[in-house]
């Protein structure tokens, strides 16, 4: 069990650093659309004027659950806005600490799941097959489902899918490697 915990923590670190490579480096520019400073300031002022009173949250604009909203929604443009009333540093180190803790927790949860399957999937090849299929199914549906259901642009979500898939797959493969060593040592198998 201790090997599983260590594997989970290492997998969580791999997940965190993969997320950093995809989202904390200039690579993230591949996924994010931008406007110039003047339009950014105008949009920010409009958000402050129209959403600050309602507070932090996620907004569908226009809201389609009224007659007028349905007409406006059909006309477009539409947006899903993740809105925060207060500013914070563009590179907030506090969020990195929270993100690291979440990644470590995710790694430990992946390790717990794989630990329960280790006896049924004794070979590394079997573990890899299950890992990649589960990661593909979950990240594919949860991330690539967004542009399907909401008609968003595909670019951001393909990038987010790749970031999630690579991060989770790498974390799980590191963890599985720890399980293979543990089960191999118990059965006398060469690792």
Is the CB of residue 177 less than 8 Å from the CB of residue 7? Answer: yes
Q: Which residues contact 138 (CB under 8 A, 6 or more apart)?
A: 168
Q: Which residues contact 146 (CB under 8 A, 6 or more apart)?
A: 152, 157
Model confidence pLDDT, tens digit, residues 173-186: 998 887 655 444 34
pLDDT category, 43, cuts 50, 70, 90? very high
Rounded to the nearest 10 degrees, what angle do helices 124-139 and 93-117 cross at? 130
- The answer to whether residue 190 scores a pLDDT higher than 70 is no
Model confidence pLDDT, tens digit, residues 105-127: 999 999 998 888 888 887 888 88
Task: Round the CA-based radius of gyration of the chain to a whole number and report it.
Answer: 21
Beta bridge partners of 79: 61
Nearest of 43, 45, 40, 77 to residue 61 by alpha carbon: 77
């Amino acid at each position: 069990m201790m090997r599983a915990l260590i594997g989970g923590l290492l997998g969580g670190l791999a997940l965190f650093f993969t997320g950093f490579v995809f989202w904390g480096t200039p690579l993230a520019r591949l996924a994010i659309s931008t406007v110039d400073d003047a339009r950014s300031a105008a949009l920010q002022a409009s958000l402050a004027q129209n959403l600050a009173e309602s507070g932090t949250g996620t907004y569908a604009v226009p809201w389609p659950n009224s007659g007028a909203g349905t007409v406006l929604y059909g006309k477009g443009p539409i947006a899903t806005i993740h809105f925060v009333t207060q500013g914070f540093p563009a590179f907030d180190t506090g969020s990195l600490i929270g993100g690291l803790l979440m990644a470590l927790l995710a790694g430990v949860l992946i390790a717990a799941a794989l630990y329960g399957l280790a006896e049924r999937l004794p070979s590394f090849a079997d573990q890899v097959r299950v890992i990649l299929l589960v990661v593909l199914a979950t990240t594919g549906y949860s991330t690539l489902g967004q542009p399907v259901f909401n008609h968003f642009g595909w670019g951001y979500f393909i990038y987010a899918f790749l970031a999630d898939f690579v991060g989770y797959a790498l974390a799980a493969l590191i963890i599985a490697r720890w399980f293979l060593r543990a089960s191999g040592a118990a059965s006398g198998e060469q690792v």
